[in-house]
Structure 1
Amino acid sequence: MSARILLLEDDPAIAQTVAFVLEREGYRLALCGWLHEARACLARAETDLALLDVGLPDGNGLDLCREIRQGPQPALPILMLSARSEESDKVAGLELGADDYLAKPFSPRELVARVRALLRRAQALREAPARPVAGFSIEAGGSRVRYHGELLPLTRRELGLLLRLLEAPQRIHSRDSLLDAVWGQEADSGDRTVDTHIKTLRAKLRLVRPEQDPIRTHRGLGYSLD
């Protein structure tokens, strides 16, 4: 079945153009022009990717991005659409958990390419084979991980990092390889981004087992999972 995409965009002209382009590619669209409509749509049906405008009549798409990362679908791929092209706005979106950011006006071809890349990466994370590691269990096709029986409330990036480490435990994964695997080559991120997400991932693991720290830091090299 084709991917289901939530499009939150209050400009009718842009919404119609995006809907036409994506439906022509075979995607199923749920079109919303208001923030409260998008919330209801997410609660009502499973979604594979969200395209969120920033400026909306009843709020801000960045608020919905934050809510998604804290909700039942924290790993949902999110692409922000905004007329704001300033670097600070882009950084704010990415730090709130957006996977990508596209400034208006954008070409339909670039939008489709980015949507495909995000969906492909999400699928790869779900299908990535992982070796059994003591204390960890992977569920729902790679969309959830339990640690000593406790379901971890992971964001999409944290989940991607953990699955990558679980693929080859005890192997040292460089920051560049983790960045490429989880963020993709087109992502505007660096080593500090990986370090920050590893820190939050560690904190969530310690909430389950405070005495354990299965992620090992190899100074100047990267990270491994023991």
Structure 2
Amino acid sequence: MLENESRQPHILIIEDDEHINNIIYDVLQKENFLCTQAFSGSEGKINVSQQAYDLIILDLMLPGLSGEAFMNELRTDLQYDTPVIVLSAKEKLDHKLNLFDLGADDYVTKPFEVEELLARIHVHLKRNTKIRTTTSYRHKNLTLDSDTMSVTVHQSELNLTRQEYKIIELLIKNPTRVFTRQDLYELAWDEIYVGEDKTITVHISNIRNKIKAFDDENYIETVWGIGFRLSK
């Protein structure tokens, strides 16, 4: 079964003015966003080093690490490409252009209306979602995440080889198809099949054993004389 993850977008608010930070937080919470508050650039840097965010709202006049310094480290040292909306009372064009050069995606001048900020947030989240679609496939208690190339059973990750992952991916993405040994070999190994029946059999057995460590359910069905398919 295909699952398009409809999770809450997670937004990091970096603003040292507690009143403004709380206003933004309350508005975004009402919009069903998951929010984290930081009150200094240093705190913000710690947050992004430990957690992935869908968008960052960044004030410039921050204690510890300034907004400009934070932006520079975000884009260079941390290689973080999450959209950033800058909040600042500075209105000069050269200042704004410098921020865009540092990697800011948008700019909102203080004082601002929360409706404008909210509209800009929605635009960037929508745009970023089109670029990054997170898709997972699920069958019984097994989930394959094509973004992280991981497979979990009962939320426990399986330690798979590249070919084992590819076999599961082929089966779970094509739940009604019966794959011959030749199909699986050529698609998972990207090589021409030369009658390596034992190779596929061993890999299927290994996958079954790894799944069985967490779940006694049958996930791969043998179709005698033909090959394998996802179990019903």
CA shift for structure 1 position 72 = 4.3
* 1:117 alignment partner AA: V
Distance in 2 (CA, whole Å) between partners of 1:31 and 1:24 is 15
CA shift for structure 1 position 44 = 1.4
When the two chains are superposed, the root-mean-square deviation of aligned CA atoms in Å is 2.2
Select 1:88's aligned residue among 94, 99, 114.
94
CA shift for structure 1 position 54 = 0.5
Match of 2:21 in 1: 15
1:55 partner SS = coil
Distance in 2 (CA, whole Å) between partners of 1:26 and 1:63 is 30
Q: Within 5 Å, which residues of 2 pair with 1:44-123? A: 44-123=50-129
Task: Give structure 2 stretches of 5+ with no counterpart.
Answer: 1-6, 134-145, 148-232
Distance in 1 (CA, whole Å) between partners of 2:36 and 2:79 is 17
Distance in 1 (CA, whole Å) between partners of 2:40 and 2:54 is 19
Distance in 1 (CA, whole Å) between partners of 2:77 and 2:29 is 27
Distance in 2 (CA, whole Å) between partners of 1:55 and 1:18 is 17
CA shift for structure 1 position 34 = 1.1
* 2:53 alignment partner AA: T
Match of 1:6 in 2: 12
Q: Within 5 Å, which residues of 2 pair with 1:23-62? A: 23-62=29-68
Distance in 1 (CA, whole Å) between partners of 2:131 and 2:25 is 26
Distance in 2 (CA, whole Å) between partners of 1:12 and 1:122 is 28
Distance in 2 (CA, whole Å) between partners of 1:66 and 1:72 is 9
Structure 1 runs (4+) deviating above 4 angstroms are none
Deviations 1:110-135 (A, max 9, x none): 001000111111111224xxxxxxxx
Q: How many residues in Structure 1 have an aligned counterpart in Structure 2?
A: 132
Deviations 1:122-162 (A, max 9, x none): 111224xxxxxxxxxxxx75xxxxxxxxxxxxxxxxxxxxx
**Cα distance, 1:73–1:116 mapped onto 2, change above 3 Å:** farther
Contact 1:54 1:81 in 2 (8 A): yes
1:10 partner SS = coil
* 1:45 alignment partner AA: Q
2:91 partner SS = coil
* 2:74 alignment partner AA: I
Q: Which has the larger radius of gyration?
A: 2
* 2:14 alignment partner AA: L
2:69 partner SS = helix
CA shift for structure 1 position 65 = 1.1
Contact 2:49 2:78 in 1 (8 A): no
* 1:12 alignment partner AA: E
2:43 partner SS = helix
Distance in 2 (CA, whole Å) between partners of 1:44 and 1:74 is 12
* 1:102 alignment partner AA: V
CA shift for structure 1 position 40 = 0.9
Contact 1:68 1:76 in 2 (8 A): no
